[in-house]
C-alpha cells in the first residue's frame, strides 16, 4: 500500500534533518536489510495474525532502541 503524499513528505522532512554522518544513516547506506523481510515473516506470523507490510520496520526499531540504549 502506498503512503499518502503528506506522509511521504513528512518522512522526507524528518529524514533530511538527520545529518549525513549520523550512525543510523551510515548503517542504512551500508546495509541492505531487504533480505530480512523473508526471514522475519514466519517469526512475525507466529506472534501476530498478519504480517505487516514492511517487516523490516521491526528490525530497524529494535536496532534503533539497541543503539540508543547503549549511548546512555
Task: Identify the pLDDT of residue 22.
Answer: 92
Note whether residue 51 is domain-resident.
Answer: yes
The per-residue pLDDT for 21 is 95
Give the CA count within 13 Å in the CB-facing half-sphere of 64.
Answer: 10
Express each pLDDT in 8-39 by its tens digit. 667 788 888 889 999 888 988 998 877 777 77
In a domain, 21, yes or no: yes
Angstrom CA distances, 30 to 25, 33, 41, 52, 64, stand at 9, 10, 23, 24, 15
49 has a pLDDT exceeding 70 = no
**What is the per-residue pLDDT for 1?**
47
Average pLDDT of the chain is 74
Q: What does the pLDDT average to over 38-63? A: 68
Looking at the structure of the chain, the number of domains it has is 1
Position 32 in a domain: yes
Amino acid at each position: 500500500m502506498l503512503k499518502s503524499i503528506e506522509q511521504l513528505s513528512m518522512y522526507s522532512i524528518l529524514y533530511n534533518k538527520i545529518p549525513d554522518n549520523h550512525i543510523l544513516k551510515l548503517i542504512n547506506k551500508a546495509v541492505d536489510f531487504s533480505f530480512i523481510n523473508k526471514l522475519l515473516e514466519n517469526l512475525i506470523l507466529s506472534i501476530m495474525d498478519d504480517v505487516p507490510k514492511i517487516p523490516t520496520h521491526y528490525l530497524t526499531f529494535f536496532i534503533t532502541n539497541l543503539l540508543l540504549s547503549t549511548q546512555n
